[in-house]
Structure 1
Amino acid sequence: MKIIIKNSSEQPLYQQIKDQIKGGILRQELKEGEKLPSIRSLANDLHVSVLTTKRVYDELEKEGFIVTTVGKGSFVASENLEMLSESKRHMIEKKLSEVWQMSKTLGINKEELYLMMDIIFAEDDE
């Protein structure tokens, strides 16, 4: 899995890295039990601080996406389908909330937004 960091992004570096690893797990590009690069190795590859990658791994472990074994490394956690499903829903809800806020700022009401979504869905069905 390739991680791309954008210096122009409003997101902090650790969040960009974390989101991309989490996304790789959710899309199953990173498989259950797969070994992740060491904290130091990932930091060197991305040219970021070891503290940054340590924070990423710590947060991913707290959220249940990875497990770390002292002396062996960090691995993609066993699939918890409920957790993965909830995480996917949360990501969609976050994006939809951003779209709704932008719509209100641009003066687009719910009905117009629903219509736009219907058009997108119809195009996707073709």
Structure 2
Amino acid sequence: MFIHLDLEAKEPIYTQLKNEIIAGIAKQELVPGEGLPSVRSLAKDLSINLHTVNKAYQQLKQEGFILIHRQKGVVINPDGIPEAGNEEIQRIKKDLRPMIAESICRGIEEEEYIEMCRMIFREFSAKGGNRNE
């Protein structure tokens, strides 16, 4: 899996890393049970601080995307990603609000916004998507 980080972006590096790993899972470039590099190894490979990698990994663990084993290391959750419950749905809605508000402020119509969402959704679905099958 190729991880692209923009060190000049406003978005924190740990968030970018977390999002890249989630995208890899959604595209099935990373599959359940597959190992990820250790914190130190990934930090070295990406030339970033190991605490940055650790923060991304800890958030991914909390959200059920990965497991961290003392012996096995970091692995994509072998049981698949847990289905979104009410808490996750509410968090996703909350995260969408500023994007929708900005879109309205910038003159993007509802149908155009929805079509952008469909296109992005299809990008992930076309590559397999993660349906916990």
1:74 maps to a residue whose letter is: V
Percentage of pairs with the same residue: 30
Which residue matches 1:41? 41
Alignment check: 8 A CA contact 1:5 1:16 kept: yes
Deviates more, 1:60-69 or 1:74-83: 74-83
Aligned pairs (5 A) from 1:14-93:
14-77=14-77, 78-80=79-81, 82-83=83-84
Residue 129 (structure 2) aligns with: none
Structure 2 residue 2 is the aligned partner of structure 1 residue 2: yes
Unmatched tracts of structure 1, length 5 or more: none
Question: Whole-Å Cα distance in 2 between the matches of residues 22 and 4 of structure 1?
Answer: 13
- The answer (yes or no) to whether the contact 1:34–1:76 under 8 Å persists in 2 is yes
| In structure 1, C-alpha distance between the alignment counterparts of 2:67 and 2:92, rounded to whole Å | 22
- 1:8 Cα deviation (Å)? 2.2
RMSD between aligned residues: 3.0
Aligned to 1:114: 110
TM-score with structure 1 setting the length: 0.73
The answer (yes or no) to whether the contact 1:26–1:88 under 8 Å persists in 2 is no
Alpha-carbon deviation of 1:79?
Answer: 1.0
Normalised by the length of structure 2, the TM-score is 0.70
Of 39-48 and 2-11, deviating more is: 2-11
Q: Aligned partners of 2:98, 2:32: CA distance in 1, in Å?
A: 31
Deviation at 1:40, TM superposition (A): 0.6
Shift of 1:71: 2.4
| 1:18–1:56 CA contact under 8 A, matched in 2 | yes
Inter-CA distance 8–91: structure 2 relative to 1 (3 Å threshold): farther
Moved over 3 A (4+): 86-97, 114-118
Aligned length: 115
Higher RCO, 1 vs 2 (CA within 8 Å, ≥6 residues apart): 2
Structure 2: state its 5+ residue gaps. 120-133
1:49 Cα deviation from its structure 2 partner: 0.9
Deviates more, 1:88-97 or 1:45-54: 88-97
